[in-house]
């Protein structure tokens, strides 16, 4: 499994007033970018449940029904949204994100 620390991504430093939560930091920004790339836009519960990202450890596991609803919505879209890069293996994803 590829983990957050294995991927080098440049993230601009935000103004502290723009931070969405006290615990939010560079790893949270990086996890959000990678999570959206990996799981799709607005798949917040799926991103939060990904053990390779920081959110599961920091805020806990999301509600299973919410994750299932996101997956059903993705299935309904029949692959038109969400997991755009599902055909890539983790090393290809890491190489693409490494700038």
Q: What is the pTM of this model?
A: 0.63
Question: Mean pLDDT, to the nearest integer, of 46-71?
Answer: 93
Give residue 81's pLDDT.
Answer: 46
Give residue 97's pLDDT.
Answer: 59
Domain chopping of the chain, boundaries: 25-97
Q: What 8-state DSSP symbol labels residue 6?
A: G
Give residue 44's pLDDT.
Answer: 93
Give residue 82's pLDDT.
Answer: 44
Longest Cα separation, the chain: 39
Q: Is the pLDDT of residue 16 over 50?
A: yes
With beta carbons less than 8 A apart as the criterion, state whether 50 and 56 touch.
Answer: yes
Per-residue pLDDT tens digits for 67-76 = 898 888 776 6
Q: Which has the higher per-residue pLDDT, 58 or 74?
A: 58
**CA angle centred on 50, ends 46 and 53, rounded to 5°:** 125
Question: Mean pLDDT, to the nearest integer, of 43-63?
Answer: 95
């Amino acid at each position: 499994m590829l983990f957050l620390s294995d991927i080098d991504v440049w993230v601009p430093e935000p103004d502290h007033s723009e931070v969405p939560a006290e615990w939010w930091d560079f790893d949270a920004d990086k996890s959000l970018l990678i999570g959206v790339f990996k799981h799709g836009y607005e798949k917040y519960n799926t991103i939060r449940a990904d053990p390779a990202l920081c959110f599961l450890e920091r805020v806990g596991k999301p509600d299973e029904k919410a994750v299932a609803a996101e997956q059903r919505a993705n299935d309904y879209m029949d692959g038109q949204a969400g997991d755009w890069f599902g055909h890539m293996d983790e090393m290809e994803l890491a190489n693409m994100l490494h700038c």
